[in-house]
Amino acid sequence: MTESTGGIDMDEDSSGTVKKFAFINRKAPYGTVYALESLEVVLISAAFDQDVSLMFIDDGVYQIKKGQGTKGIGMKNFSPTYRALEGYDIEKLYVEKESLEERGLTEADLLVDVEVLSRADMAALMEEQDVILSF
Amino acid sequence: MKFGIMVNEGPYNHQSADSAYQFAKAAIEKGHEIHRVFFYHDGVNNATKLTEPPQDDRHIVNRWSKLAEEHGVDLVVCVAAGLRRGIVDENLAAGFRISGLGQLVESGIQADRMVVFGD
């Protein structure tokens, strides 16, 4: 873990600071590397005991769509990782209602349990965050 | 104020590499502190010393190195993103170091503001 956490030994991190971290996922899962590499940061952040939220807006909602098949494009289907987040105590997943609707999707199309928020509520939630990493 | 900066795009391909540098420089000139600049995604390409732009163009990589030399700015390249793209110690420009994503999260915790430059 030390290499992936950048050589930082969490036990010796005496700061004890807990901040609200939000990861905003805006892009489709394939086509660019943003979704995959964002997920890598999310997993590392779990080691720092921060208050982590994931937000899915725009084409980012496709990242957690059920039934992804990537054989045809020769890439790894990393969508099962979203299901594993619970095991890392990352349980705050928010999806924007308008983004789902614009794409003809409903909560039933998603592979993880999420809270669906209106665009206005999502904006309010972003306002509450200390650190926002947008991918 | 203490700033953390994240750079997510490659040099010469996307303005975010330029904007991040200009932001960092302006912040330092105004008396602020840059806690760290973390390079991720194609942003890791900001760190290769093999970069040779035409003479009449800005040298993005050397510009970062100079910022590190003159102001002690910590320039950190993500090891996993770097390996994917062939950025390793052997071709790392001066002032950069390779480390893990924990350095990014730590910067978010320690800095007063985290500013992301990306697409």
* Closest residue on chain A to B105 (Cα): A45
In which band, very low, low, confident or very high, does the pLDDT at A118 lie, cut at 50, 70 and 90?
very high
Q: How many whole angstroms separate alpha carbon B54 and alpha carbon A132?
A: 36
pLDDT of residue A16: 85
B94-114 pLDDT per residue, tens:
999 999 999 999 999 999 999
Interface of B with A in 3-32 (CB under 8 A): 6, 8
Provide the pLDDT confidence category of residue A6 given band limits of 50, 70 and 90. low
The length of chain B is 119
What's the average model confidence in pLDDT over A37-59? 95
How many angstroms separate the CA atoms of A122 and A40, rounded? 23
Closest to B60 in 3D by CA, of B96, B32, B85, B31: B96
Domain count, chain A: 1
Using one digit for the tens of pLDDT, what is the confidence trace for A18-29?
999 999 999 999
Q: How far apart are CA B78 and CA A41, in angstroms?
A: 10
In a domain, A87, yes or no: yes
Beta-carbon separation of B109 and A48 below 8 A: yes
CA distance A28 to A64: 10
In a domain, A9, yes or no: no
Residues A31-45, mean pLDDT to the nearest whole number = 95
Q: Count contacts between A and B (CB, < 8 Å).
A: 78
Give the ipTM of the model, two decimals please.
0.91
Average pLDDT value over all residues in chain A: 92
A80 inside domain: yes
Mutate to test the interface with A, among B75, B84, B105, B107 (most CBs of A within 10 A): B105
User: Which pLDDT band holds residue A122 (cuts at 50, 70, 90)?
Assistant: very high
CATH number at residue A25: 3.40.1260.10
Q: Give the tens place of pLDDT for each residue, A61-112.
A: 999 999 999 999 999 999 999 999 999 999 999 999 999 999 999 999 999 9
- Whether B105 has its CB under 8 Å from any CB of chain A: the answer is yes
Residues A40, A42: Cα–Cα separation, whole Å: 5
Residue A47 lies in a domain: yes
Within-domain flag for A112:
yes
**Degrees (nearest 5) of the Cα angle B21, B103, B111?**
65
Q: Which residue of A has its CA nearest to B78?
A: A6
> What gap in Å lies between CA A135 and CA A132, rounded to an integer?
10
Confidence of residue A1 (pLDDT cuts 50, 70, 90): very low
Active site residues of B: 78
Which of B6, B44, B109 should one mutate to test binding to chain A, selecting the residue with the greatest count of A CBs within 10 A? B109
Average pLDDT in the B76-92 region?
A: 97
Residues of A in contact with B41 (CB under 8 A): 33-34, 37
Q: Tell me the nearest-neighbour CA distance from A120 into chain B, angstroms.
A: 22
SS3 A94: strand
Q: Answer yes or no: is A42 within a domain.
A: yes
Task: Tell me whether residue A49 is in a domain.
Answer: yes
How far apart (Å, rounded) are the C-alpha atoms in residues A117 and A96?
5
Q: Which of residues 56-115 of A touch B (CB under 8 A)?
A: none
pTM for the structure as a whole: 0.93
pLDDT band at A13 (very low <50, low <70, confident <90, very high): low
pLDDT digits (tens, 9 = 90+) for B3-59: 999 999 999 999 999 999 999 999 999 999 999 999 999 999 999 999 999 999 999
Strand partners, A92: A53
A5 to chain B, minimum CA–CA distance in Å? 4
Torsion of CA A9, B21, A30, B92, to 10 degrees: -60
Query: Structural domain of residue A62, as residue ranges?
Result: 18-134
* Residue A5 domain-assigned (yes or no): no
